Amino acid sequence: MNTAGSFNEWIPGLDRLPRLLVVDDQPLIIRVLNEIFKNECQVSMATDSRRVIEICRKQQPDLILLDIMMPGIDGYTVCRQLKADAMTADIPVIFVSSQQEVENELRGFDVGAVDFITKPVNPVLVYARVRTHIAVKIQRDLLRASALQDGLTGVSNRRRFEETLELNWKQDLREQRELSLIMVDLDYFKRYNDYYGHLEGDQCLIRVAQTIKAVLKRPSDSLSRYGGEEFVCLLPDTNQQGAKKVASNILRSIETLAIPHAESPLASQVSVSLGGATVKPNLTMNRADLIKAADIQLYQAKQQGRGRYMEIQLPADAAGTDCQTIVHDA
């Protein structure tokens, strides 16, 4: 259906198909809604309301069409759970229900829904409402992203990193999964700036940032500029071996990039030092412990000669405890 141009034409700045999640225990309703939006959105479908939170954390839909009367957990409860979870709270929910009483609509708004559509659905009406709410959501996301993006390199800034770390720490704490963090620092970058000039230094930072970003394959992994020539990779649900693999790929990719560095005592091209830390979040530690541990490993990597990765596995029961450090050369 296309009443006034596609979603991409109608929503400025949208360079992908919007993600729409349809939750209903009636296959006929799911087929009808899928038919309406299949050419305009990436449509995901769920018939089990108990899986909605899990699906939303992984897929991060731009909007949810949610039935109220569902077996197991009703739509009101699902919406309330979505709004209570920091990772899903901003996803707009439109209730789709055969219940037409005003009390039901008011209850839907009370639990956090943005709209209420009655069955049987009117295709033109549901299309217009979904498009409007998706446009508001995506425009808000784009505005927020611009405030959380590093102006030079295009990767996330430090504020975005801190927000993302907080979300992932809580999620991995709740699900008892390991979380890894890698600090990356360009070796002898002041000498690079002094020799080549700050404009070339900026281009160097951009190329290095985009190269590191390309190494991070999973949507859940993130790269942020932490400050100056220092970057940080956040790897949720990643153990020490997984972080080591990412770090090794970063070292190889920067070496392959082969940016000349005439003033480096280490090599004739730009290199990086990396420090990593892995932990299973627990109540005896906080996020600052993970950052501090990775930063210490980065310092150790520089002390050991730079151009290498050093890592640490933090214990589950002691913040700030010294652990075995492992060194990986480029």
Which positions are catalytic?
A: 229
b/e burial code for range 212-244 (CB count within 10 A of at least 16 → b): bbebbeeebbbbbbbeebbbbbbbbbbebebbb
Peptide bond preceding 12 in cis form (omega within 30 of 0): no
181's CB contacts (< 8 A; 6+ apart) are 165, 232, 233, 234, 235, 243, 276, 277, 278, 290, 291, 294
134 beta partners? none
Sign of the Cα pseudo-torsion (123, 126, 128, 134, in order): negative
Q: How far apart are CA 222 and CA 156, in angstroms?
A: 8
Reading the block at residue 10, the tokens are 């109608």
Pairing of strands 179-186, 272-279: antiparallel
Task: Please identify which residue in the block is written with the tokens 């927020």.
Answer: 144
